Amino acid sequence: MAVIDPANLKFYLSGGAANADPDASLGGARSTTTEAPETLNGLFNPVTGDEAVAGSVKYRCVYFRNEDANANGLMAPLSAWVASQTTSPDTVLAIAIDPAGKNASAFGPVANEDTAPTGPTFSEPSGKGSLALPGAPYAQNDYVAIWLRRTVSAGASAFASDTSTIRVEGDTL
C-alpha cells in the first residue's frame, strides 16, 4: 500500500493563478502561489461590530490539492467535512464542492464576499464520508474547489479568535 505524506495535501486560494489575498479568494482559477491560511480568521476577515449586530454571511473558495509525488499515491474514496465547527456559538461554517468537479476551475469569481456562488449546495457535514469529492482517485496534482460559507447570527457576541477545522481524508489504493 502506498503511503501519502499529509504535508503534501494542501489547500490553495482561488481568485487566479497569482492571487495571494484571502479576501480575493472568491472562486475562479486556483492560485499557483499561495496556500490558504490555516485559520478561519486568516481566511475570513474578523467580524465587525455592525456585522455582529445585523448578522453576516460571507463566502470563500479554496482548492484541495494532492501534491504527493509517490507514483502509487492514489487516493480514493475522498471526502470532506467540518471536523470541528466554529468555536464561537454565534457562527457556523458550511462547505460545498464546486460543481465544476475535479481538475477544473471553480465558478466565479463572485462579485464580492457577500455574493453566493451559483451551483454549490452547502451543508455542514460532520464526519468522514459525509461529502464525497468527485472523480476519485486523486493522483499527484489532482485538485478540487471547495466553497466555504461563514454565517454570523444577528446579535452575535464579540469573539476574538473564531476557529474551525475542515478535513479532507481518503484511503490509498
| Cβ contact 111:58 at 8 Å | no
Residues 90-122: tens digit of each pLDDT: 999 999 999 999 999 999 999 999 999 999 999
Which residues in 8-164 belong to E strands, given as ranges?
9-14, 30-35, 56-66, 75-84, 91-97, 131-132, 143-152
Distances (CA, A) of 134 to 41, 78, 80, 92, 152: 28, 8, 11, 24, 29
Q: C-alpha cell of 44?
A: 475570513
Instruction: Report the pLDDT value the prediction gives residue 172, as an integer from 0 to 100.
Output: 73
pLDDT digits (tens, 9 = 90+) for 61-71: 999 999 988 76
| Sign, CA torsion 32/37/38/43 | negative
Q: According to the model, what pLDDT value does residue 173 have? A: 67
Ranges of each domain in the chain:
6-45+53-172
At 84, is the secondary structure helix, strand, or coil? strand
Below-70 pLDDT ranges, the chain: 1-2, 71-73, 173
pLDDT at 72: 67
pTM for the full model?
0.93
User: Can you read off the three cell numbers belonging to residue 124?
Assistant: 455542514
User: For all residues of the chain together, what is the average pLDDT?
Assistant: 90
Q: What DSSP string describes 13-54? A: EESSTT---GGG-SSSSEEEEEEPPSSHHHHSPPPPHHHHHH
pLDDT of residue 158: 77
Instruction: Decide: helix, strand or coil at residue 6.
Output: helix
pLDDT of the residue at 94: 97
